[in-house]
Amino acid sequence: MINAGGVTRWAGALIGSIVLSAGFMAACSLSEAVTERYSRKFNFEYGQSRAWGSFSYAIVALCAGFLFNISPMINFWIGTVCGVGMLLIYLFWVPAEQKEELKKEADPNAEKTNPSFKEMVGVLKMPTLWVLIVFMLLTNTFYTDKQLRQMEAAKA
């Protein structure tokens, strides 16, 4: 693809940007929506959690930089231990509020709160939604791949 010229290169870049953006944005948007919904369901402060998460990310990135100078394998093993720890927490710890909600959802007589298929399809009739979808599909790779910096460097 790199050696391809003209139309082939631009067609590949266009198709690749749409496919990669669609996959990345779908996964990010889905996890964001699910997390936000559960935060409302269990009275969890999602915004505060995001703020502390960003702060923690900055601290961990700083520490990882220092540890990388000592040995890159330290970062690997610390990440592995943290990942296994989180897996164990997710497998074995269920909060009391979540247990209660799961019991309520298992009740066959409970009131349904899911939108109907007609309501879900109705969202697709919004023109502004399609403008946003096309915009995100065509521009997302510029931000995730840091291509804007590369373009500016190429001009200089």
pLDDT computed for residue 97 by the predictor? 78
Q: Residue 83: CB partners within 8 Å, gap ≥ 6? A: none
Q: Which domain holds residue 25?
A: 1-42+114-156
Statement to judge: residues 38 and 58 lie in one domain: no
Q: What is the pLDDT of residues 94-153, one digit of tens each?
A: 888 778 877 877 777 777 777 888 988 999 999 998 998 888 777 776 666 655 555 555
Q: Is residue 120 part of a domain?
A: yes
Q: How far apart are CA 5 and CA 147, in angstroms?
A: 19
Q: Is residue 8 part of a domain?
A: yes
pLDDT computed for residue 27 by the predictor? 78
Statement to judge: residues 52 and 87 lie in one domain: yes
Q: Is the pLDDT of residue 2 over 60?
A: no
Q: What is the pLDDT of residues 17-44, one digit of tens each?
A: 888 777 777 777 778 888 888 888 888 8
Query: Encoding tokens for residue 145?
Result: 């791949």
Q: Is residue 100 part of a domain?
A: no
Across 61-77, average pLDDT? 93
Q: Is residue 102 part of a domain?
A: no
Q: Is residue 27 part of a domain?
A: yes
